[in-house]
């Protein structure tokens, strides 16, 4: 896995809190950017979806994103806190990622169950 999960807490009422570290050797950094590695926004969103899916013990995919803001560059080896809260709408989560006390990313994410691929005859 391209990041390490240090801690995962399910706080009740649809809240999840996780601590992760972005591994220095992650392939995300190899081309983004040489000599100045940063974690792409899509990778940050993927981490949030992974953490929510893990907390629910389900296979989920990102269906829709709203009001996503990227506020801080993420470098290799940084420890991040991911906080996600389920809203009253099924599959909808507000989330934010922080590094120490700085906001990294926030937004609203709609997740749906992954459907198995149809069998070919």
H or E stretch including 62? strand 60-70
Task: Order the strands of the 102-113 sheet from edge to edge.
Answer: 3-12, 15-22, 79-86, 92-99, 102-113, 60-70
For residue 119, tell me if it sits in a domain: no
Supply the residues annotated as catalytic. Answer: 32
For residue 121, tell me if it sits in a domain: no
For residue 23, tell me if it sits in a domain: yes
Query: What tens-digit pLDDT sequence spans the chain (121 residues)?
Result: 889 999 999 998 889 999 999 998 888 887 778 788 999 999 999 999 999 999 999 899 999 999 999 999 999 999 999 999 999 778 899 999 999 999 999 999 999 987 665 666 5
For residue 22, tell me if it sits in a domain: yes
Total structural domains in the chain?
1
Query: Considering the entire predicted model, what is its pTM?
Result: 0.89
CATH number of the domain to which 44 belongs: 3.10.129.10
For residue 118, tell me if it sits in a domain: no
Structural domain that includes position 21 = 3-112
For residue 36, tell me if it sits in a domain: yes
């Amino acid at each position: 896995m391209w990041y390490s999960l240090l801690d995962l807490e399910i706080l009740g009422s649809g809240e999840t809190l996780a601590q992760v570290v972005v591994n220095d050797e992650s392939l995300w950094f190899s081309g983004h950017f040489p000599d100045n590695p940063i974690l792409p926004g899509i990778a940050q969103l993927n981490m949030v979806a992974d953490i929510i899916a893990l907390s629910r013990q389900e296979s989920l995919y990102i269906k829709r994103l709203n009001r996503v803001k990227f506020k801080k560059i993420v470098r290799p080896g940084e420890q991040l806190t991911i906080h996600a809260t389920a809203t009253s709408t099924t599959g909808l989560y507000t989330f934010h990622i922080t590094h120490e006390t700085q906001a990294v990313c926030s937004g609203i994410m709609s997740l749906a169950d992954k459907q198995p691929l149809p069998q070919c005859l």
